[in-house]
Copies of this chain bind each other. A is one copy, B any other.
Amino acid sequence: MPKVIKTKTEFEGRVLEEYVVVEGEGLTAWDAQAPLKFVGKKIPRIDGPERATGKAAYTFDVQLPGMLYGKILRSPHPHARIKNINTQRAETLPGVRAVLCYKNTPKISFRRQTFIFDEIVRYVGDEVACVIADDEEIAQDALELIEVEYEILPFVLDPEEALQPNAPKLYPDGNLLGGQPEVYQRGNLEQGFAQADVVIERTFRTQCALHNCMEPHGSVALWEGDSLTVWDSTQHIFGVREGLARLLGLPLHKVRVIKKYMGGGFGSKNNLGKYTVIAALAARMTGRPVKIVLDRHEENLATGNRPASIQRLKIGAKRDGALTALELKAIIAAGAYCLWPPSVGGPARELYACPNLKTEQYTVFTNTGPLSAFRAPGYVEGTFALESLMDELAKELGMDPLELRLKNYTEIDQTTGRPYSTKGLREAYERGAKLFGWPRRPEPQGQLRRGVGMASQIWSGNGMPPAYALVKINPDGTATVITGTQDIGTGTKTVLAQIAAEELGFPIEKISVEIGDTQMGLYAPLSAGSMTVASVGPAVRMAAHEARQQLLDVAAQVLEAPRESLTITDGLLSSPALQKPVAVHEVLKNLENFMIIGRGAREPNPEDVTVNTFGAQFAEVTVDTETGEVKVERIVAVHDSGRVINPLTLSSQIEGGIIQGLGYALFEQRVVDRNTGVVVNDNLENYKVPTALDIPEIVFEMVERPDPRANNLGAKGVGEPPIIPTAAAIANAVADALGVRIYELPLTREKILKALQH
């Protein structure tokens, strides 16, 4: 029976009653020494062949009879009021079926104070209208026939300028999200700084970075009667369902969202996109299915970014390194729209023992493309600043940077006072240092300067309920896992198959996994926050456990063996009471299509401990003092994400995170023209992401200690942890090489050469 627990939470001064439904309890995590057959093993992706051979159908591949194509007209101005739109010429172009804009669509509220088709555009790339046509080329051509009369408004691109009283306002209530900064504090900051022997203060700046997931954002919408089906490239099919139902006034059971395969998502696909709502509106208007898939240009203008930040940090410490106070004042450039801002103060609040602390964050609207979540939002930016500052402090104190970090090590969650369930950061430091050869090695002289640096990582990663799964066992002894999660490219299907195979005692090739369908699947949370394994995995294990119980129930009766004597391994039932093992399908084949159906729910998280992931990275760089080129030679990473389910898919995450962090450290940066608000590098030719030649030697190990308090797997997520410390470690290594620090990312040749001139 589901238990409902009522809790009271204070939020923005109001006391909210929250209800939590408790389900899924009763399974404890496998013991660290438990001999497991599939969990912890390098199982190749079960959906590898169809992905590699082009058989996997992504949203772009969905073809429906009579389907139309949409292209979106985007604002050429950073800030303007649409005085009029004349779509007549576009509508008469042969092959054009509809042109949607604010004039002929319902006024659907989308994000704070704005609408799907708004009469005000707030950045270059903002949605103005959409042409629906027989093919994409016609739609594209028709865009040029739409006549828009704009009233140009003053605009602001820089978040510090946007905070000025006379700055152009994006919204009637001003440019500061919420009207005031978000403030966190503990202890007494003044006293803390007064106790310090050393106080240093620095300002760090991080750039705006673009997602560039391989598969662009896009949707296909189909109406059948009053039922809407949407194929969507999304990290949360149930979230898109909820959003579409809410915005279009539909009941949830009439909205089906499907996402079978996905070519990556780093947070920009967490939420319902305008293109999805527009596709649904257009399909209803034309009576035909509509596909809208964004191109790379649109991807880089309109789907979100890691926002630029300005972080002023002030830190106080005793001579022995013990921190006494830490203050962060951060400004985040939200761009034109913001669903929820990343919190760059997280690492400062959590990473070290520090009794007196204040973080203050100003999230500021500017006339640029909107922010979105981007792989460890806030923590990548915040860790760069904090861990750079820690190195500055270590230098000031004459301490080894790692020694300073160990000095301020804590087993207590500084924000709640609760202990961590498990914390492998000390071991990560120690093993990383040993693997890397820390503290430092002799530096080469001359044009090439070598440097080393390190940084720490903290991140949640345990996920949460609710998440549900079914496990069906077929008469031939194969099984199908059904859940409503989505594989955003990380290997979710494989990991869930491993968990089911382990729990059932079946060979892994006998397991298939069905995901990505809200109508047929069960609720699962968004694939973000490094939480899919830790949220959905336990539900799958529970469902498999229930299925196994049913299988043992019937097997005991069919085989006439004591139930408690039966075990299942490799799909064989064994018991001392049996002469020889009996295959599961031998038991089931006589039961005439009897289908075992196990159901599982994710259990609640513990309330007495904090479950987090941890890690440390060490970087070695060579800086060419003539050209300013930074070459990252090596990254050593040691992370603690609890039990590892699949070292193969994990290695993709670790390496991918480090490589993406390297790009962020060295060259990824959206450039906006100051005079026009136009993004000048909204493509992969000018926006530099790392290529094979940029990739260093990557050595990583896991502190593989199952966390029994996390969930019934003992596993935590690993999607975001590896990107968090990379830029900080590289920046520290570059500072070590140069003897002088650059406070602003990315560490371009120009900045290196400029720093060397000082």
Contact = CB atoms under 8 A, between A and B. Distances in A.
Interface residues of A, number: 70
A400 to B, nearest CB: 46
A252 interface: yes
Contact of A252 (B55, B61, B474, B550): B474
Contact of A1 (B225, B474, B553): B553
Interface in A520-572: 520-523, 525, 550, 553-554, 557-558
Given A1-B550, A252-B476, A599-B597, A466 B50 contact: no
B253 A474 contact: yes
Contact of A592 (B20, B61, B520, B522): B20
A522 B595 contact: yes
A590 B479 CA distance: 34
Contacts of A224: 50, 55-57
A377 interface: no
A519 interface: yes
A588 to B, nearest CB: 10
Contacts of A226: 49
A238 B593 contact: yes
Given A63-B64, A476-B251, A595-B466, A53 B21 contact: no
B558 A19 contact: yes
Contact of A512 (B21, B254, B596, B599): B254
Contacts of A17: 590
Given A4-B554, A253-B510, A590-B17, A225 B47 contact: yes
A523 B595 contact: yes
A111 interface: no
A120 to B, nearest CB: 32
B4 A253 contact: no
Interface in A475-492: 475-476, 478-480, 482
A622 to B, nearest CB: 44
A171 interface: no
Contact of A18 (B18, B590, B596, B599): B590
A18 B594 CA distance: 13
A110 interface: no
A251 B597 contact: no
Interface in A226-281: 226-227, 238, 242, 245, 251-254
A591 interface: yes
Report which residue of A1, A56, A252 has the largest number of chain B beta carbons within 10 angstroms of its beta carbon.
A252
A20 to B, nearest CB: 7
A4 B591 contact: yes
Report which residue of A242, A512, A522 has the largest number of chain B beta carbons within 10 angstroms of its beta carbon.
A512
Contacts of A91: none
A629 interface: no
A468 interface: yes
A592 B242 CA distance: 12
Nearest to A289: B55
Contact of A557 (B4, B18, B245, B596): B4
Contacts of A251: 474, 476, 478, 509-510
A345 B15 CA distance: 76
Contacts of A56: 224
A329 interface: no
A224 B251 CA distance: 33
A4 B558 contact: yes
A375 interface: no
A472 interface: yes
A65 interface: yes
Interface in A61-88: 61, 63-65
A127 interface: no
A704 interface: no
B512 A253 contact: yes
A53 B225 CA distance: 8
Interface in A1-53: 1-4, 6, 17-21, 47, 49-50, 53
A392 B398 CA distance: 117
Interface string A365-390: 00000000000000000000000000
A63 to B, nearest CB: 5
A514 interface: yes
A223 interface: yes
Contacts of A594: 2, 21, 466
A500 to B, nearest CB: 11
B475 A252 contact: yes
A517 interface: yes
A323 interface: no
A226 B55 CA distance: 11
Given A553-B2, A554-B21, A225 B49 contact: yes
A511 interface: yes
Contacts of A21: 554, 591-592, 594
A177 B592 CA distance: 25
A598 to B, nearest CB: 10
Contacts of A591: 4, 19-21
Contacts of A254: 478, 512
Contacts of A475: 242, 252
A396 B86 CA distance: 88
A476 B470 CA distance: 22
Contacts of A1: 550, 553
Contacts of A523: 593, 595
Contacts of A57: 65, 224
Nearest to A18: B590
A420 to B, nearest CB: 25
B63 A478 contact: no
Contact of A253 (B511, B550, B592): B511
Given A6-B558, A53-B225, A520-B521, 10 more contacts: A2-B596, A19-B590, A19-B591, A49-B225, A50-B225, A227-B512, A252-B474, A252-B475, A252-B478, A466-B594
8 contacts: A2-B554, A2-B596, A50-B224, A56-B224, A251-B474, A253-B474, A517-B520, A523-B593
Q: Which 5 A-B pairs rank lowest in CB-CB distance, beginning with the nearest?
A: A520-B520, A4-B557, A49-B225, A253-B478, A50-B225
